[in-house]
Chains A and B, each alone.
Chain A
Amino acid sequence: MARSLTLRAAFVSILIFAAFILTWHLATRGTGAVQQMDPEYAKLMGATATQGKSAMPGPLDVGQKLWEHLRRPFYDNGPNDKGVGIQLAFSIARVGLGYLLAVLVAIPIGFLIGMSPLMSRALDPFIQVLKPISPLAWMPLALYTIKDSNLSAIFVIFICSLWPMMINTAFGVASVRKEWLNVARTLEVGTLRRAFTVILPAAAPTIVTGMRISIGIAWLVIVAAEMLVGGTGIGYFVWNEWNNLSITNVINAILLIGLVGMVLDQVLAFAGRMVTFPE
């Protein structure tokens, strides 16, 4: 039964995809020669003006460009023209570094908040104020104080990954079952040992959920941050192709951003399943 459901779902997915591509293709077809033009003049004009080609690229154009990108993902033609694989690697490295720093800061602080009602109340106003700030709002300040655009981008990832992880960790730690803590207390387990052997495993699913939210946000933000500071990364790639008004490449970048985001999310979803246990 489950098998046949999967099959049927796959069939419907393919059907939707095919319908989408077909509509897209039909909607972006050219209209043929627009008007009578002096051949010398026509030579100076683009395909949109001369052949009525739609300004939006069709699925065939996008597919062809995508194939070009995938065939040579790691070429390097100087500082402003690198293969899409290199650009993605730069973005992933930035996200990875900022995210890792955030993990190192957020989880201990989250533990502290979750275990100590005093610290929870004391830090709450700061968290409440800092949490709703759009990550990109930090960008000018970061550029101005850190004085390095690459580190600024990493800082922005750090700051946006921090809050969901911290709050989820605190929530997970605070909601560990009282009975378990009481058992630990009767066995006279030390604070540190209690944190690692009782609280951490119990709170792990919540913590990983927080990490999963964070990586999603980080991947959302890196594209915008790289569009702002430029240089390298998939966000810069989008900006660069936008300057060229190449919608084909912009669509390709969107597709790749979506795929990489999905992979990152799935990695943490898998980690989440690893630490969840049936009660």
Chain B
Amino acid sequence: MSMFDNAFDPKRGLSRAGCACGRHIDAAEHEREQQLQCAPVESASDEKRYQGVVASAVMRAVFPQDATRRAFLKAVGASTALAAVSQFFPLSTATEVFAQGGAIEKQDLKVGFIPITCATPIIMAAPMGFYTKHGLNVEVIKTAGWAVIRDKTLNKEYDAAHMLSPMPIAITLGVGSNPQAYTMPAVENINGQAITLAIKHKDKRDPKSWKGFKFAVPFDYSMHNYLLRYYLAENGIDPDTDVQIRAVPPPEMVANLRADNIDGFLGPDPMNQRAVFDGVGFIHLLSKEIWDGHPCCAFAASKEFVTTAPNTYAALLKAIIDATAFASKADNRKQIAEAIAPANYLNQPQIVLEQILTGTFADGLGNIRREPNRVDFDPFPWQSFAVWIMTQMKRWGQIKSDVDYKAVAEQVFLATDTTRLMKEVGLTPPATTSKSFAVMGKTFDPSKPDEYIQSFAIKRV
């Protein structure tokens, strides 16, 4: 369930199997819902939308259990429920505060990004005017690497930045760097990665035959690494002994594939599609086929920025939430591809970006595939995602000691955009910040992380 879900809809979140996004009963329902929600951001009334966000959050706070809420809604109907909720909470005041905030302390901001499609909401918000709409003058700055992004955010050269979602956890835990408290108020994108193999392996599609392969991932502390390891291990390949996994910057993945230096990679787009476009690789599997709805990149801000300029931060987050909502609509994707293709942003052929964002793409084997949810956008930082990431860090020996999964998840994956703003205006934030999900058909229970780790045959603990 995300920020954009309607908490007043009793059918929401009932089924994961029914449709592509898992939030509807069947595909037809999904289509209908998508069309209903497709009003462009510009024309939708801001007040209405903020009201919706606040009301949904309050509704979840009153009925933290999905089942109880559904039963209640079914019994009394959505409008009665809204009226009832309005009795207890000053909804209009809360909405007003959320929508307007105070005076913006700092108008000119710098936000860093890495040129991959995961950064889409951050980038597109500049050319498409989402930042200006919220009274901000934001420069989005292309940055040379994850470590530089981290340093520039800490140096206050950037006010906020695009990061990999496991990074704030790793930084906070002091894995691979000095421990440092980090805030991650929003997930940038879900899905949107792929396993790409060299074209010469087109007849070796069975992962069980991949012993001796050399793979690349962009960073040790990345969803890419964890998903690739998971996928290999599920297929009986030990990712540490049977294959080699190297950390390689994304553009070098394509070059290495061309040079026959690696056999494949699990990397961010546009590099998967670029490998296909250049005729050197084929898309073996989209990351959504491993875990549909997995988080990937994140929007991170320094703690100091959050505390010294709360109104600016709120405006910035609203711009990001707006942009993310706009990006999550299939109809807008072509327009987005056009906006972010120029050299100032992603610097890629537009046709490549279009294939990634619309999900109608050439797979490198001669087929055209249609996967509208190849990449999707949903900002809510579910804390169970953080717990899963930590189970994998532990599983592969990145964390040696015991971890208080719940505490770290709560500390890093601040389900903050709403939570913080709501606390400020005296409301109780949503109680559910965890949700269950399945990775390759295996359900993850965030309350039993250690049992989960133990359940794997291949592990380093």
**Chain A interface residues (CB < 8 Å from chain B):** 34, 37-38, 40-41, 43-46, 48-50, 55, 77-81, 143-144, 147-149, 227-231, 236, 239-246
Residue of B nearest to A147 (CB): B155
Evaluate contact between B279 and A230: CB separation under 8 angstroms: no
The answer to whether B279 touches A45 (Cβ under 8 A) is: yes
**CB of A99, distance to nearest CB on chain B (Å):** 23
Contact between B361 and A44 (Cβ–Cβ < 8 Å)?
Answer: yes
Question: Are B255 and A81 in contact (CB-based, < 8 A)?
Answer: no
Are the C-beta atoms of A245 and B148 separated by less than 8 Å?
no
Closest 4 CB pairs of A and B: A49-B279, A230-B144, A81-B344, A44-B362
**B148→A55 contact, CB < 8 A:** no
A243 touches B115 (CB 8 A): yes
- Chain A residues near B145: list those with CB within 8 A: 228, 230
Does B141 contact A243, Cβ atoms closer than 8 Å? no
CB of A144 within 8 A of CB of B144, answer no
Give the nearest-CB partner of A239 in chain B: B144
Residue of A nearest to B150 (CB): A143
B258 within 8 A of A: yes
Q: What 0/1 pattern do residues 290 to 319 of B give for CB contact below 8 A with A?
A: 000000000000000000000000000000
Q: Is the CB of A48 within 8 A of B278?
A: yes
Would you call B139 an interface residue if the criterion is a C-beta within 8 Å of the partner chain's C-beta atoms?
A: yes
B254 within 8 A of A: yes
Q: Residue on B with the closest CB to A232? A: B141
Chain B 253-269: CB-based contact to A (< 8 A → 1; otherwise 0): 01100100000000000
With A49-B277, A50-B279, A80-B345 already in contact, 13 other A-B pairs whose C-beta atoms are closer than 8 Å? A45-B362, A48-B278, A55-B280, A77-B343, A80-B141, A80-B343, A229-B144, A230-B143, A230-B148, A239-B144, A244-B343, A244-B348, A245-B254
Inter-subunit contact B151/A81 (CB<8 Å): no
Kindly identify which residue among B141, B142, B258, B278 contacts A46, using a CB–CB cutoff of 8 Å. B278
Q: What CA separation (Å) do A27 and B217 show in the bound complex?
A: 32
Asked if B347 and A148 sit within 8 Å, CB to CB, the answer is no
Q: Contact check, B368 vs A41: say whether CB atoms are below 8 A apart.
A: yes
Q: Which residues of A contact B280 (CB under 8 A)?
A: 48, 55
A-B contact pairs, 5 of them (CB 8 A): A37-B366, A80-B142, A81-B343, A244-B348, A245-B274
Contact: B344 with A79, CB < 8 Å?
yes
- Which residues in B have their C-beta under 8 angstroms from that of A149? 148, 151-152, 155, 157
Complex alpha-carbon distance, A81 and B355, angstroms: 24
By a CB distance below 8 angstroms, the chain B residues around A44 are: 277, 351, 355, 361-362, 368
- Shortest CB–CB separation between residue A75 and chain B, in angstroms? 10
A45 touches B277 (CB 8 A): yes
- The answer, yes or no, to whether B136 is at the interface (CB within 8 Å) is no
B140 touches A79 (CB 8 A): yes
Number of interface residues of B (CB under 8 A): 40
Inter-subunit contact B151/A78 (CB<8 Å): no
* A47 nearest CB across to chain B (Å): 9
Q: Which residues of B contact A41 (CB under 8 A)?
A: 362, 366-368
Given contacts A45-B277, A45-B279, A81-B343, contact A240 B142 (CB under 8 A): yes
Asked if B155 and A38 make an inter-chain contact with CB atoms under 8 angstroms apart, the answer reads no
Most buried by A among B157, B254, B255: B157
Say how far B369's CB is from chain A's closest CB, in angstroms.
10
The distance in angstroms between the C-alpha atoms of A148 and B156, with both chains bound, is: 9
Mask: chain B, 316-355; 1 = CB below 8 Å from A; 0 = not: 0000000000000000000000000011110111010001
A239 vs B344: C-alpha distance in the bound complex, in angstroms?
A: 13
In the complex, the chain A residue whose C-beta lies closest to that of B354 is A44
* Alpha-carbon separation in the docked complex, A223 to B350 (Å): 29
Cα distance A243–B250 in the bound complex, in angstroms? 8
Which residue on A lies nearest to B252, using beta carbons? A242
Q: Report yes or no: A77 in contact with B344, Cβ–Cβ below 8 A.
A: yes
Question: Once the chains are docked, how many angstroms separate the CA of A236 from the CA of B148?
Answer: 13
Task: Kindly name the residue among B115, B277, B349 whose own CB sees the greatest number of chain A CB atoms within 10 A.
Answer: B277
CA distance A242 to B351 in the complex (A): 18
Partner of B155, one of A49, A79, A143, A231: A143
- Is residue B216 within 8 Å, beta carbon to beta carbon, of the partner chain? no
> B342, A77: Cβ atoms under 8 Å?
yes
Docked complex Cα distance between A80 and B127 (Å): 13
Q: How far is the CA of A233 from the CA of B328 in the complex (A)?
A: 35
Whether A244 pairs with B368 at a CB distance below 8 angstroms is no
Q: Establish whether residues A228 and B144, one from each chain, have CB atoms under 8 Å apart when the complex forms.
A: yes
Cα-based distance from A1 to B155 in the complex (angstroms): 63
Q: Which of A38, A40, A50, A240 contacts B343 (CB 8 A)?
A: A240
Complex Cα distance A236/B366, Å? 36
Pairwise interchain contact A34-B141, C-beta atoms closer than 8 A: no
B54 at the A interface (CB under 8 A):
no
Closest to B348 in A: A244
A-side contacts of B351, CB under 8 Å: 43-44
Complex interface: chain A residues within 8 A of B141 (CB):
79-80, 230-231
In whole angstroms, what is the CA distance A231 to B343 when docked?
13
User: In whole Å, how far is B93's beta carbon from the nearest beta carbon of chain A?
Assistant: 39
Is B276 on the interface with A (CB-CB < 8 A)?
yes
Contact residues of B between 126 and 143, Cβ < 8 Å to A: 139-143
* Complex Cα–Cα for A48 and B281 (A): 12
Query: Residue of B at shortest CB range from A231?
Result: B141
**CA gap between A41 and B351 in the complex, in Å:** 12
Q: Are A49 and B142 in contact (CB under 8 A)?
A: no
Tell me the minimal C-beta distance from B91 to chain A in angstroms: 40
Chain A residues closer than 8 Å to B151, beta-carbon distance: 143-144, 149
Contact B144 A227 (CB under 8 A): yes
**Distance in Å: Cβ of B262 to nearest Cβ of chain A:** 15
Q: Mark B156-178, 1 if CB is under 8 A from A, else 0.
A: 11000000000000000000000
Residues of B within 8 A of A50 (CB): 279
Closest-CB distance, B115 to chain A (whole angstroms): 5
- Could you tell me if B362 and A243 are in contact, using CB atoms closer than 8 angstroms? no
* B64 CB–A CB distance under 8 Å: no
- Residues 235 to 290 of chain B near chain A (Cβ within 8 Å): 250-251, 254-255, 258, 274, 276-280
Interface centre among A43, A239, A241 (most CB of B within 10 A): A239
In whole angstroms, how far apart are the Cα atoms of A42 and B254 in the complex? 20
